[in-house]
Amino acid sequence: MTKVKSPLLSLGAKGTLGDELTFRESRGVSIAEKTPIPAYRRTLPQMYQRWTYQDYAWLWGVLDPATKQVFASAGSRYHLTGFQYWMKTRLENLTHMGGWWKLDDAHLVAIADSSRNNNTGVNVGCVAAGGLIGGAAEFDGVNDYIDLGTSASIQFATVMTLHLFLRLTPFSGSSGFIVTNRWNDGFGNQGYVFFRQGGANNVQFIRYLDGVNLSIAGAFTPGVWHHWAMAKTSTHMHLYRDGLPAAAPVADARTIKTQGHIYLGTAIPGFTPLMTMDNAYLLGYWAFPAEVARWAERRYP
């Protein structure tokens, strides 16, 4: 069916003819050309690009007017609107993204980081598995882990968000460390167990710091994929499951103090649970609840 605004093949035609031809005007000249088709249409790489674009577009919507004006002023030098300049700079630098491990390459020793920070993970024993979004990493529950390194780009001081998809087996009687930081011996070290599989089939976000242990927990269904997000603000710890709060926030005004290696799983033998993990993000800001809800809905295919 034609969708042209002037007689077909006239000099003033604009629009499309079926799925084949596009009529458009460029500098006063009418041009007929083949309808462009993206090279990676409906593929996983295109979905990753689309989701990243949507994330930054959504964040623009929650900026205050004064911040938007800063970007409008900066963008005017390049004949760009404030939104266009915001998107240009965010997408070029993947701002606030400390690390993004898609885990589509879990059959490899080197696990790619899709942020701009090159925090390549070192895979110790994990194998490839099917995920909710492309591939995933399967941990054997004995001694598998992925070492994400010690880069300053994933060491946060005030606020942060960690989110991922996770499928866990039933609780077996001993705690399993899902994501850890500064956790060398399992006893007494300061640091985080960002996520831990605990008793009664729950996932916990725990902070061990300066002799004080604070935690927040939410239940999981064994064998089922869940999206989990942990957000640390300047005043509270938040835990989300499948886009909704898993429990009431816990007051915690302490600084974060992430230091040393960060692991998916843990390097302590016997403390990594039997689990499958997909698309892990570390972000240098605390996520809004509506943002977490959007992340939880993502699937491919």
- Per residue in 197-254, pLDDT tens? 766 788 988 877 766 778 899 999 999 999 999 999 999 999 999 999 999 999 988 8
Residue 201 confidence (pLDDT):
87
Evaluate if residue 94 carries a pLDDT over 80.
yes
Q: Among 165, 179, 201, 203, which residue's Cα sits nearest to residue 262?
A: 179
Contacts of 184-189 with CB under 8 Å at 24 or more apart are 184/267, 184/268, 185/268, 186/268, 186/271
17 pLDDT exceeds 70? no
% of the chain at pLDDT higher than 70:
86
Q: Tens digit of pLDDT for each residue in 246-291?
A: 999 999 888 776 677 899 998 888 888 899 999 999 999 999 999 9
Q: Which residue has the higher pLDDT, 232 or 14?
A: 232
In this prediction, residue 167 has a pLDDT band, given cuts at 50, 70 and 90, of very high
What local confidence, expressed as pLDDT, does residue 145 receive? Answer: 95
Lowest mean pLDDT segment, chosen from 2-16, 48-62, 169-183:
2-16
Stated as kind and residue range, the H or E segment containing 162 is: strand 160-168
Please report the pLDDT score of residue 287 as a whole number: 94
Phi, psi (rounded to 5 degrees) for 41 = -60, 130
- pLDDT band, very low/low/confident/very high, at 1 (cuts 50, 70, 90): very low
Radius of gyration of the chain (CA): 23
- Region(s) of the chain under CATH 2.60.120.200: 99-296
Selection from 219, 236, 74 nearest residue 228 by Cα: 219
Question: For the ranges 6-15, 168-177, 249-258, which has the lowest average pLDDT?
Answer: 6-15
List Cα–Cα distances, 145 to 68, 89, 115, 178, in angstroms.
Answer: 42, 34, 20, 9
DSSP string, 203-264: EEEEEEETTEEEEEEEE--TTSEEEEEEEE-SSEEEEEETTEESS--EE--S-----S-EEE
**Domain topology for 99-296:** Jelly Rolls (2.60.120)
What average pLDDT does the segment 86-114 reach? 96
